[in-house]
Amino acid sequence: MLRVQAYRFVLRPDGAQERLMRRSCGARRYVFNKALALQKERYAAGGKHLSYADLCKHLTAWKADPATAWLKEVHSQVLQQALKDLDHAYRNFFEGRAELPRFKRKGKDDAFRHPQKVELDQPNGRIRVPKLGWMRYRASRAVEGAVGQVTVSLKAGKWHVSVQTEREVEKPVHPSTTLVGIDVGVTRFATLSDGTVIEPANAFRKAEAALAKAQRAMARKTKFSRNWRKAKAKVQRVQARIARIRSDFLHKASTTVSKNHAVVCVEDLDVRAMTASAAGTVEEPGVNVRQKAGLNKAILDQGWGEFRRQVGYKQEWLGGWLLPVPAPNTSRTCPECGHVAAENRPSQAVFRCVACGYAANADDVASVNIARAGYARQACGETSPVRASAQEPTEAGPALAA
């Protein structure tokens, strides 16, 4: 089977290389925004949507224009990839997977991509990117497979390079044969049906005071002054630390779950709908807005969607499966008698069946019901386990322990 994997490293460019990388980020952003503005103008005038090939013709004209001749200083692949990103964003919008593309701004998602002609010298910890030449990188791990596209990005003042590789590997067989249900939450990050509990990292909550202090300091500075830029860099460092802590936690948790269970059943949650604002409108204001905002912040701090994504691809690499099950009533169904009622859950953490009197932690009950739903869907043939990267049912999964 073909395994596509990315490796991310910290770059160590010299001054000239850093200036050219900043110029590349700016040129990519300019081309993306100019092409997006062109698409919006044509739409407003009732014109036809331009394809990627059509936009490339406009790119040639922009590079020939004396006013934007500076675009020639950047590698052509960087500019072409910006147009591909816009085309992909519009395709996602037309197919209902994303919102309408928005203009990019400086300082957010500064990056550019090279799809080919990249060389990697692992023994010496060097990488050669077109027009940038050889650059040192922090070789924290070995890169396996043939090097494909490379993405260079700027985050919190540090340059990173992400190297995508492809390699053929033997079809894996998962070392385990067990199925587990997982209920995610805020008080407990994850509760497994085998009794395991994963406590949350709460990366944002722990750094919230430090972040608020840094943001207040930045707000007191004159915008775009030298001191403002220093304060902004401090805010970015705090935000980057929060992201690193959350990412490290999610990778460790997902790796542990994936290695120990062949089939992982999760609730098919719509996190975006769950974290929608309750503010309402001026005419019809919402209720419990402050409480809902706090709950939304706590949910988003956990990273449920990223956890599911990581479990999915790690299960695929190990030969296991990720099986989503419907979310309704997983925490309201009694695992002893099967009675379903909202009254079975008198509080967030307590489950007490009004029919048979069975009592337990609500998260433990939900995880057991999720596991049973996974077993039932397999046994009844309603669906097969699906990999995180696939939408259609695939071949039958591994044998399960009785």
| Catalytic positions, written as ranges | 183, 267, 363
139 touches 126 (CB < 8 A): no
Q: Which residues contact 328 (CB under 8 A, 6 or more apart)?
A: none
Strand-strand pairing, 321-325 and 263-267: parallel
318 contacts 257 by C-beta, under 8 angstroms: no
Q: What is the residue whose two structure tokens read 């390699």?
A: 167
Of 182, 199, 189, 178, which Cα lies nearest the Cα of 331?
A: 182
Closest CA to 153 of 307, 28, 249: 28
**CA–CA dist 388, 400 (Å, integer):** 19
DSSP secondary structure of 270-294: -HHHHT----B-SSSB-SSHHHHHH
Q: Which two tokens stand for residue 164?
A: 């995508």
Burial class (CB in 10 A: 0-12, 13-18, 19+), 150: buried
Q: Which tokens sit at 371?
A: 């596991």
Q: Give the burial class of 161: count Cβ atoms within 10 A of its Cβ; 0-12 exposed, 13-18 middle, 19 or more buried.
A: buried
